[in-house]
Chains A and B, each alone.
Chain A
Amino acid sequence: MRFLSFPFWVFFLIAVLFYYLPGKKGQWIRLLIVSLLFDLLSCRENIVFLLLASFLVWFSARQIRKNQEKEVRLVRENKGVWEKDERKQFKKSMEKKRKLLLSLTLVLIFGILAFFKYGGSGLLLPLGISFYTFQAAGYLIDVYWEKVTPEENPFRLLLFLSFFPQIIQGPIAFYSDLAGQLYQERSFSGEDFYEGMRRILWGAFKKLVIADRLVKLVTFASGAEERTGSLVVIGVLAYAVQLYTDFSGGIDIAAGIGRIFGIRMAENFRQPYFSRSLAEYWHRWHITLGNWVRTYVFYPLSISSFSLRSGKWLKKKNLVHLSRVLPTGVCSLVTFLIIGIWHGRGSQYLLFGLFNGLVILLSELIAPVREKAAKNLGLLKERKRTVLLSVVFTFLLVAAGYYFDLAKSGTEALQMFVLTCRDFRPGQIFSPDLYLEAGLYAADYAAILVGMAVVFVDSYLKENKKYPLTAFLEKKGSVWKGTFLFVVLLVVLIFGYYGPGMDPAGFVYMQF
């Protein structure tokens, strides 16, 4: 079952009624039933792995907690009995056991993920396996770090991992942010319903009016027999728009569905194409994946003994800037390699990670030189011109990264770069016939352009923290809000690219 399909909306309506109508008692159980049902209807095989991962992680977390409690109890009981060394040794042995259990569980759950994702087993990737595996791992590590108390009831943990709006393409939630909300009892709220519907319709607008229409152009430009540099550029630019509207649209829909159940999910995007550097972009794009990787990979790596020692060593050699930048830069590079590998099996994904990591590392390394040059050129950070230049330059870097995303292999990505430089024909970019060849009509492009303009204005206002429409509707009251929702619904229903005869495109991030 896909979001935005007719059966899904029927399911969703029944789910909302089932959640609220019988009263507050047992709401989380009903939400779990609904989530498992969604999994069953979407991907029957998925339920097996979901249950396996949930119970395995629940059991390991409980064992880790028991081990922690045992350690504290025995240390307390043997206070004054054990020597300092004895106590240290005991703690170390307990820590070792916990680490072993943590590692084994992580290897197992990531092993399952790797088997499906990289094993070439020919089996279909269970829906959302990446997302719930990351959430499960995060939860277990948090328990290991004693940041959260492990869940006693395995079914409550199962709900945290299977909560249906996020299963398709995230966002990846931290247990401390989401779990409490899932178990909370609540009454139906008109405000939550309005906000939820607004997010759902906004997401549907981005996905159906823009993203799904652009699929044909992206496929045409990247699959053309006689590929030119300009076609590659058209493909990459169209992909940049398609990917953002598709992914952020899907997340909006998920967040909207969550909101109707009274649950506020983590934001995954913050106007990423307004970023002024690649590092900032990665704080605005797929935020929850970035946060996850930073929390569980980057920070532990940054404070690892190797990182700390190399920093000290560089400082000793009087390389102050390098001592500050290089160790974290290397950790960041490793993190990006992991992000690259997470995206898929081919060498192009590895190169994608390497490209992003290296650009950020280099940017940090040359920061003093860059800042000096900017100052000499009069490019003050606050100036509009400087901001615009940085935004455009960052977008070009991001677009360069998409070459790897679009290519079927690392070699193909490099060939695309070569083509762009060697065979770029500006005339082709402005040739209307070329765009019509993609199988879209002029009216389709008009819909895409108008849609993009709407998304741009929305992003610009959000970036500047201005919300005139929200303020206007708040002032006018609920009937106006309802009318607004209805108008957006009509726009999506009429101008969306869906239904029989159209090629329904899945969410891009579903495959991850």
Chain B
Amino acid sequence: MSQKKKKRFVWIRFAIVCLLVLMVVSRLSMASDLTSLVNTKGFYREPENTLDVCFVGPSEFYANFSPTKAWEEFGFTSYSLALAGIPASMHKSMLKEVMKRQDPSLVVFEINGYIQRDTYYERKEKIRSWLDTIPWSENKIEAIRDLTPPEEWYTFLFPLAAYHNNWQDPGICFASEAVRLNMLTAEGSFMKGYSTCSQADPAVPDAKIKKIYFTDKSRSYLQDLLDTCHDMGLTQVLFIRCPHGRAFKNPEVLEDIQTMVEDAGYSYLNLNESYDELGLDRTRDFYNADHLNVLGMKKFTAWLGQYITDHFDLRRNYSQETTDYWNMCAGKTDTILDECEKDLKNGISRWYFESSAYIKMPENPSDWDV
């Protein structure tokens, strides 16, 4: 090899090493909310076309509803593709991802994202918790193009530019990477997007009454989602307001949403303050004003599971393989839920999510505090 060629080879090798280091550092910097991350990654681990019901929306879904409990009690498969504080503008791309891999009989959306101020749509870290976790596709490019400012587009190709400030918290970076790697090799998602905290907040009944909004922006995002549902040929779609510990100052705002949804031929259900109907005790069943704890979840899952069974046509013709897989997942989840309930009784406050199935809970609760 001539000297010139040798030199060129050295530089090519050097450039490749630099590029690899940059890619590793860039990936390592991508810290995310672990629950949202594991729920999204877990969704992609689900065998294709096996889910009958898909829940799409914010943290209310991952805290309030357990797909494996619903499986045990009502025999339908479901998944909570739920991300903390996800803006409603992301629902369309979430639905597209769902429909790419699954053929659900029913899709359920939580309306929380539509009843916030417009600033809710600007929360970059929430937007990115979804967009940076899903694989590259036309849908992802479309969402980036439509929902993020052009000057930030390059950061989706080079995430270090957006996440580099996480050097201040290396722990969360490594935890996120551990979750990503774990979900890459996991058999599947055991908890199917369920996540909770072993805590009961007795002060929930005193929570501040909330003012809600249905802005022009929210209206246009909802209309766009309804149109997309139609374009995709979806016949069974439910828009739901999950139970919350606090009342609304201006509940009449919801009427507009209900009208839009029902005019589009879809179902609407407001359970915000349906405590009696659901059998919820606000002093025991919530871990904070916006989320049910494991006790509340059991009640809500039982109620909603029944409602879905009564009001919608589900396939429920699962293969033996799917049935076995779901039974295995339900068993694993039950063990975790038992542990969580035990913690709740003992006043130990810990976070339980998909990764809890892989990590042994520390003896000392303070190591896993919420």
Q: Which residues of A are interface residues toward B (Cβ below 8 A)? A: 5-7, 441, 443-444, 479, 482-483, 486, 490, 493-502
Contact = CB atoms under 8 A, between A and B. Distances in A.
Contacts, number: 51
A499 B155 contact: yes
A490 B161 contact: no
A130 B155 CA distance: 34
B56 interface: no
B161 A498 contact: yes
Contact of B161 (A7, A479, A482, A493): A493
Contacts of A6: 151, 154, 161
B160 interface: yes
A500 B152 contact: yes
A365 B124 CA distance: 60
B60 to A, nearest CB: 26
B124 A500 contact: yes
Contacts of B164: 493-496, 498-499
Contact of B162 (A486, A494, A500): A500
9 contacts: A443-B167, A493-B25, A493-B160, A493-B161, A493-B164, A494-B160, A497-B165, A499-B161, A500-B155
B10 interface: yes
Contacts of A441: 168
Given A444-B168, A499-B162, A501-B124, 8 more contacts: A6-B161, A479-B10, A490-B22, A490-B25, A494-B160, A498-B164, A499-B155, A501-B125
B29 A494 contact: yes
Nearest to B13: A479
The SS class assigned to the A binding surface is helix
Nearest to A442: B168
A281 B273 CA distance: 71
B165 A502 contact: yes
Nearest to A6: B154
B21 interface: yes
A7 B152 CA distance: 11
A479 B165 contact: no
A5 B125 CA distance: 21
Nearest to B159: A499
Nearest to B152: A500
Contacts of A496: 164
B174 interface: no
Given A494-B25, A494-B167, A500-B124, A482 B162 contact: no
Contacts of A493: 22, 25, 160-161, 164
B275 interface: no
Contacts of B184: none
A482 B165 contact: no
A446 to B, nearest CB: 9
A7 B151 CA distance: 8
A223 B1 CA distance: 65
A500 B132 CA distance: 14
A289 B124 CA distance: 42
B155 to A, nearest CB: 6
Interface of B: 10-11, 14, 18, 21-22, 25, 29, 124-125, 151-152, 154-155, 160-162, 164-165, 167-168
Contacts of A495: 164, 167
B161 A486 contact: no
Nearest to B167: A494
Contacts of B167: 443, 494-495
Given A479-B10, A500-B152, A500-B155, A490 B168 contact: no
Nearest to A441: B168
A501 to B, nearest CB: 6
Nearest to A486: B18
A444 B168 CA distance: 8
Contacts of A500: 124, 152, 155, 161-162
A479 B13 CA distance: 11
B154 A482 contact: no
A482 B14 contact: yes
By Cβ-Cβ distance, the 7 closest A-B pairs, closest first, are A443-B168, A6-B154, A499-B161, A500-B152, A486-B18, A494-B164, A494-B167
Contact of A490 (B21, B124, B125, B152): B21
Contacts of A7: 151
Nearest to B148: A500
Nearest to B18: A486
Nearest to A499: B161
A6 to B, nearest CB: 4
Nearest to A483: B14
Nearest to A482: B14
Nearest to B127: A500
A479 B14 contact: yes
A130 to B, nearest CB: 27
A320 B161 CA distance: 63
A274 B21 CA distance: 38
B4 to A, nearest CB: 13
A5 B21 CA distance: 22
Nearest to B154: A6
Nearest to B169: A443
Contacts of B155: 499-500
A117 to B, nearest CB: 28
B266 to A, nearest CB: 35
Contacts of B160: 493-494
B133 to A, nearest CB: 17
A324 B18 CA distance: 61
A501 B21 contact: no
A501 B14 CA distance: 32
Contacts of A483: 14
A483 B11 CA distance: 11
A8 to B, nearest CB: 11
Q: Which of A482, A486, A490, A500 has the most CB of B within 10 A?
A: A500
Contacts of B161: 6, 493, 498-500
Contacts of A502: 165
A406 B162 CA distance: 31
A482 B29 CA distance: 23
Nearest to A446: B168
A250 B14 CA distance: 29
A444 B14 CA distance: 32
Contacts of A490: 21-22, 25
A441 B167 CA distance: 12
A497 B165 CA distance: 8
A441 B151 CA distance: 26
A500 B22 CA distance: 19
B154 A501 contact: no
Nearest to A497: B165
Contacts of A499: 155, 161-162, 164-165
B25 A501 contact: no
A257 B328 CA distance: 61
A482 B10 CA distance: 11
A476 to B, nearest CB: 14
A501 B22 CA distance: 21
Contacts of B11: 482
A486 B19 CA distance: 10
Contacts of A443: 167-168
Contacts of B124: 500-501
A12 B160 CA distance: 21
A482 B164 CA distance: 22
Nearest to B163: A499
Q: Which of B124, B161, B164 has the most CB of A within 10 A?
A: B164
Contacts of A494: 25, 29, 160, 164, 167
